[in-house]
Amino acid sequence: MERITYYDIPKGMFENLMTTEDFINQSPLGIKLLELIRLRVAQKNGCAYCVDMHHKELKHLGETDLRLSSLCVWKETPYFTEKEEAALNLTDALTKMSRDPLPEATFDALTPHFSKEEICYLTLAISQINTWTRLMKTFRFVPGNYQVKETV
């Protein structure tokens, strides 16, 4: 049972978050990488609603079952590119943050694959999905009903 329904949310709250979401989606990172990041954050934060959503989005984008089922153990598999691994490593570090600064090795692994501008987008994308997962877990949105919107 939802604690807070979509209709209880203050007008403009989701719309303003979606403005940021649209900004991120227009970045040079590519939607498939963004969705991998979103699914990974959802897994790390235990957000069933977001796991359902981003799993479905990735399937719609043609992601393989093997990579989807292995994302939760990505460090132990050979299925992800070095670029994806660098982004996922940053995702893990920023999602379960310690009080310590981001390790230099985590940042340095990004630089062969991403410009400084793209690292800014990555950081914002990770922060944004962390916000969404926290909202969904608090509101207790029910997983399973999400449907991918068909683009024209």
Where b means 16+ CB within 10 Å and e means fewer, 118-138 reads: bbebbeebbebbbebbebbbe
With CA atoms as reference, report the closest residue to 30 among 103, 83, 94: 83
The pLDDT assigned to 39 comes to 98
Q: Which residues contact 37 (CB under 8 A, 6 or more apart)?
A: 87, 88, 91, 122, 125, 126, 129
Distance in angstroms between the alpha carbons of the first and the last residue of the chain: 34
| Model confidence pLDDT, tens digit, residues 17-43 | 999 999 999 999 999 999 999 999 999
| Rounded Cα distance, 114 and 128, in Å | 19
Per-residue pLDDT band for 146 (boundaries 50, 70, 90) equals very high
The pLDDT assigned to 119 comes to 98
Whole-number percent of the chain with pLDDT over 90 = 93
Whole-number percent of the chain with pLDDT over 70 = 99
| Rounded Cα distance, 144 and 3, in Å | 17
Question: What average pLDDT does this structure show over 105-133?
Answer: 98
For 34, the enclosing helix (H) or strand (E) is helix 31-45
Tokens coding 95:
């999602």
**In the block, residue with structure tokens 């970045």:** 27
Q: Find the length of the chain.
A: 152
Q: Which residues contact 35 (CB under 8 A, 6 or more apart)?
A: 54, 57, 58, 61, 63
The pLDDT assigned to 100 comes to 93
The pLDDT assigned to 1 comes to 74
The pLDDT assigned to 150 comes to 79
- Does the pLDDT value for residue 152 go beyond 60? no
